[in-house]
C-alpha cells in the first residue's frame, strides 16, 4: 500500500510536470500565432489602403456628379479633385497619386513637381514599369493591388511597398495610394515582442502559483483530507440519489426509444410509398419524353412535306403564268383575226359598190339597147345577163357582209369575254396562290414552333428524369439513414438496458464507498 508521504511527493511532481507542460503549450501557441499575427497585420494594412482609395474615389465621383448636374464646370471639378487628392492623407503620412491614360501625372501628394511628367518609363527597384502596371490593372479589372519594390538612396537596397489603385473611367484617371510593408514588419515585431513577454509572464506566474499551491497542500494535507472525508460522507448519499434518478431516467429513455423506433418504422413505410410514387412519375416522364420526341419527328416530316408543297405551289404558279400567257397570246391572235375580218368587210363593201355600178351600167346599157331597136337586141340580152349577174353578186355580197358582221360580232364578244375571263382568272389565281403560299408559310412557322416546343418538352422531360434520379438517390440515402437510425435505436435501447444494470451496480458501489469512507475516517483519525 502506498504511503501518504509518497502520495504527496507524487502530487508535487505532477504539479511540476503540469507547469512544464503549460510552458511547452505556451511556446507552441506562440509559434502557431506568429504567422497569424503577420498575416493579420498585412491584411489589415491592405484593407486600410483599399478603404482609403474607395473614400478618395467617392470624393472624385461626387465632384464629377456635381459637374454633370451643372453646379460646377467639369474643369472646376477636375481642379477641385486634383487639389483635394494632393492634400489628402491617411494614417498620418500616406499620400495619394493620380495618372491618366497617357501615363501623365495628374496629382501627386508627396511630390507636386511631378505633375505633368510622363511616367511611361518609370521603373521600381526591380525593373517593373509601375505606371503601366497601374493603368493595366485599372483598364482590365477596374481596381486592384500591386506589390513592388521602391529603390532606396543606398545603391542596391530596395524596400517592399504595396499600392491599391482604382480607375475613374469618366476622366480616365488612375487613382492610387500605397504603404511601405516595413511598417507592417515593425508592427508585427512589436506585436510578437509583446506577446512573447506576456506569455513568459504568464508562465512565471503559473509556475509560482503551482509551487506555492503544492507547498501549501503539502503543509496542510491532513486537514483537507479530513474535510474531504466529511464531504465524501455527504457525497456518497448524493451519489446514491443521483444513481436512483439515473435509473429512473434510463427507464424513461427506454420507453421513448421504443416509441421512436415505431415512428422510424412509420417513416420508413412512408418513404417506401414515396419511392413508389417517384417510380410511377419516372415512368410517366419516360412516356412523355418519348411522345415529345415522336411529335418532334412527325413535325419535322410535316415540315418537309410543307416545304415540298410550297415548291409544288411555285411550280403551279409558274405553269399558271405560262397558261395565262398562252391565253393572252390567243387573245392577241383573235384580235388579229377580228382585224382581218374587218379588212374583208371593207373589201366586201368595195365589191358591193362595184355591183351597184355594174347594175347601173347594165341599166344604162338596156336603155341604149332599147333606143337602138333591132340592132340593140343582142346587146340588151347581154345587159340583162350582166344585170342578173350583178344582182346575184350583190345578193352574195350582202350575204357575205351579213356573215362578216356576225363573225365580227362573235369574234369581238369572244375576245372581250376571253380577255375579261383571263383577267379574272389571273386575279383569282394570283390571289389564291398568294393565300396558299401565305398559308403554307404559316403552317411552316407553326410546325417550326411545334418542333421547338416538342424539343423543349423533351428537354424538360429529361430534366424531370434527372431530378427524379437525384430524388431516387436521395430517397435511397434516406432509407439508408433510416435503417442506420433504426439500428442506432436498437443499439441505444441495448445501451440503456446495459446502463440500467450499471446504475444498479453503481448503487451497490456507493454502499461500498460508504464502507471505505468509514475506514478512511478511522485511518485519518
pLDDT tens by residue, 446-499: 767 877 776 777 787 778 777 767 777 777 776 786 677 667 667 766 766 776
Number of structural domains in the chain = 3
Provide the pLDDT for residue 323. Answer: 65
Residue 313 near residue 437, CB atoms below 8 Å: yes
| pLDDT at residue 27, rounded to an integer | 58
Model confidence at 124, pLDDT cuts 50, 70, 90, reads confident
> DSSP readout, 353-392?
HHHHHHHHHHHHHHHHHHHHGGGGHHHHHHHHHHHHHHHH
- Same domain membership, residue 327 and residue 438: yes
pLDDT reported for residue 122: 92
Task: Return the percentage of the chain with pLDDT > 70, whole number.
Answer: 67
H-helix segments, 176-221: 181-219
Q: Which of 482, 451, 172, 147 is nearest to 292 (CA)?
A: 451
Do 266 and 305 sit in the same domain of this protein?
A: no
Task: Please indicate whether residue 267 or residue 51 has the higher confidence score (pLDDT).
Answer: 51
Q: What share of the chain in percent tops pLDDT 90? A: 18
318 with 198, same domain: the answer is no
Structural domain ending residue among the three candidates 161, 189, 215: 215
Mean pLDDT (whole number) for 30-43: 57
Question: What was the pLDDT predicted at 308?
Answer: 82
Q: Is pLDDT at 392 greater than 60 in this prediction?
A: yes
Q: Are residues 189 and 99 in the same domain?
A: yes
Residues 187, 306, single domain; the answer is: no
| Whether residue 282 has pLDDT greater than 70 | yes
pLDDT at 462: 78
Q: ∠ at Cα 144 (139, 145), nearest 5°?
A: 130
Mean pLDDT of the chain: 76
pLDDT per residue over 54-72, tens digit each?
999 999 999 999 999 999 9
How far is the C-alpha of 225 from the C-alpha of 304, rounded, in Å? Answer: 104
Tell whether 120 and 198 lie within a shared domain.
Answer: yes
415 and 494 in a single domain? The answer is: no
Instruction: Note down the domain range covering 129.
Output: 4-215
Helices 4-68, 74-87: inter-axial angle, 10-degree rounding: 150
Q: Region 415-435: what's the mean pLDDT?
A: 75
In a domain, 290, yes or no: no
Question: Is the residue at 135 inside a domain?
Answer: yes
Q: Single out the residue of 494, 488, 510 nearest to residue 250, CA to CA.
A: 494
Residue 178, beta-bridge partner list = 163
Q: What CATH number did the domain enclosing 61 receive? A: 3.30.450.20
- pTM of the predicted structure, to 2 decimals: 0.35
Crossing angle, helix 4-68 and helix 181-219, to 10 degrees? 150
On whether both 162 and 242 belong to a single domain, the answer is no
pLDDT band at 15 (very low <50, low <70, confident <90, very high): low
Measured CA distances, 168 to 67, 118, 214, 477, 524 (Å): 15, 19, 69, 54, 86
Count of other CB atoms within 10 angstroms of residue 365: 18
If pLDDT is split at 50, 70 and 90, which confidence band does 343 have? Answer: confident
* Residue 224 confidence (pLDDT): 60
Whether 289 is covered by a domain: the verdict is no
Q: What is the pLDDT of residue 58?
A: 95
Q: Do 330 and 246 reside in the same domain of the chain?
A: no
Q: 370: domain CATH number?
A: 1.10.287.950
Residue 222 lies in a domain: no
pLDDT confidence of residue 503 = 67
Structure confidence by residue, pLDDT tens digits, 91-106: 878 899 999 999 999 9
Residue 419 included in any domain = yes
Using CB atoms within 10 Å of the CB of residue 165, give its burial: 0 to 12 exposed, 13 to 18 middle, 19+ buried.
buried
173-182, 300-309, 352-361, 511-520 — most confident range: 173-182
Among 215, 248, 272, residue at a domain's last position: 215
* Domain stops at, among 194, 215, 236: 215
Question: Which triple of cell numbers denotes residue 366?
Answer: 338596156
Q: Which residues contact 339 (CB under 8 A, 6 or more apart)?
A: none
Q: Is residue 150 part of a domain?
A: yes
Together in a domain, 238 and 127: no
> What pLDDT does 357 receive?
84
Question: Would you say residue 26 has pLDDT above 60?
Answer: no
Using CA atoms, how far residue 131 sits from 48, 102, 124, in Å, is 22, 10, 10
Q: Is residue 291 part of a domain?
A: no
Q: Give the integer Cα–Cα distance in Å for 240 and 506.
A: 8
Q: Do 390 and 303 share a structural domain?
A: yes
Q: 186 and 312: one domain?
A: no
- In this structure, is residue 210 part of a structural domain? yes
Amino acid at each position: 500500500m502506498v504511503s501518504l508521504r509518497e502520495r504527496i511527493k507524487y502530487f508535487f511532481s505532477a504539479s511540476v510536470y503540469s507547469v512544464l507542460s503549460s510552458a511547452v503549450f505556451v511556446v507552441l501557441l506562440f509559434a502557431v500565432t506568429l504567422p497569424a499575427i503577420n498575416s493579420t497585420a498585412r491584411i489589415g494594412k491592405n484593407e486600410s489602403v483599399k478603404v482609403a482609395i474607395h473614400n478618395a474615389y467617392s470624393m472624385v465621383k461626387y465632384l464629377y456628379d456635381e459637374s454633370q448636374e451643372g453646379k460646377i464646370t467639369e474643369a472646376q471639378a477636375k481642379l477641385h479633385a486634383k487639389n483635394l487628392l494632393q492634400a489628402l492623407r491617411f494614417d498620418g503620412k500616406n499620400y495619394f497619386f493620380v495618372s491618366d491614360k497617357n501615363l501623365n501625372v495628374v496629382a501627386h501628394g508627396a511630390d507636386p513637381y511631378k505633375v505633368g511628367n510622363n511616367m511611361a518609363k518609370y521603373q521600381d527597384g526591380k525593373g517593373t514599369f509601375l505606371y503601366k502596371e497601374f493603368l493595366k490593372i485599372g483598364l482590365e479589372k477596374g481596381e486592384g493591388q500591386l506589390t513592388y519594390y521602391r529603390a532606396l538612396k543606398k545603391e542596391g537596397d530596395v524596400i517592399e511597398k504595396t499600392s491599391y489603385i482604382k480607375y475613374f473611367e469618366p476622366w480616365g484617371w488612375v487613382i492610387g495610394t500605397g504603404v511601405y510593408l516595413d511598417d507592417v514588419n515593425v508592427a508585427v515585431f512589436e506585436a510578437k515582442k509583446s506577446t512573447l513577454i506576456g506569455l513568459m509572464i504568464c508562465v512565471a506566474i503559473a509556475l509560482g502559483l503551482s509551487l506555492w499551491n503544492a507547498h501549501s497542500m503539502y503543509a496542510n494535507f491532513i486537514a483537507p483530507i479530513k474535510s474531504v472525508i466529511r464531504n465524501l460522507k455527504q457525497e456518497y448519499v448524493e451519489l446514491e440519489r443521483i444513481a436512483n434518478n439515473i435509473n429512473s431516467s434510463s427507464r424513461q429513455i427506454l420507453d421513448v426509444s421504443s416509441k421512436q423506433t415505431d415512428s422510424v418504422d412509420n417513416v420508413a413505410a412512408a418513404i417506401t410509398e414515396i419511392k413508389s410514387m417517384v417510380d410511377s412519375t419516372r415512368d410517366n416522364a419516360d412516356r412523355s419524353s418519348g411522345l415529345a420526341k415522336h411529335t418532334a419527328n412527325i413535325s419535322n416530316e410535316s415540315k418537309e412535306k410543307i416545304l415540298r408543297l410550297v415548291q409544288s405551289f411555285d411550280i403551279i404558279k409558274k405553269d399558271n403564268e405560262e397558261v395565262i400567257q398562252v391565253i393572252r397570246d390567243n387573245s392577241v391572235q383573235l384580235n388579229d383575226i377580228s382585224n382581218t375580218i374587218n379588212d374583208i368587210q371593207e373589201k366586201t363593201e368595195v365589191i358591193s359598190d362595184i355591183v351597184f355600178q355594174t347594175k347601173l351600167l347594165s341599166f344604162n346599157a338596156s336603155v341604149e339597147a332599147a333606143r337602138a331597136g333591132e340592132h340593140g337586141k343582142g346587146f340588151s340580152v347581154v345587159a340583162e345577163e350582166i344585170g342578173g349577174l350583178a344582182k346575184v353578186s350583190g345578193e352574195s355580197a350582202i350575204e357575205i357582209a351579213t356573215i362578216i358582221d356576225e363573225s365580227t360580232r362573235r369574234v369581238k364578244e369572244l375576245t372581250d369575254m376571253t380577255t375579261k375571263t383571263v383577267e379574272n382568272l389571273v386575279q383569282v389565281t394570283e390571289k389564291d396562290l398568294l393565300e396558299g403560299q401565305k398559308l403554307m408559310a404559316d403552317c411552316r412557322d407553326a410546325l417550326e414552333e411545334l418542333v421547338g416546343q416538342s424539343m423543349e418538352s423533351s428537354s424538360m422531360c429529361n430534366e424531370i428524369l434527372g431530378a427524379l434520379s437525384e430524388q431516387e438517390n436521395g430517397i435511397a440515402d434516406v432509407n439508408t439513414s433510416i435503417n442506420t437510425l433504426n439500428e442506432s435505436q436498437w443499439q441505444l435501447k441495448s445501451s440503456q438496458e446495459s446502463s440500467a444494470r450499471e446504475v444498479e451496480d453503481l448503487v451497490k458501489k456507493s454502499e461500498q464507498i460508504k464502507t471505505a469512507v468509514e475506514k478512511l475516517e478511522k485511518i485519518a483519525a
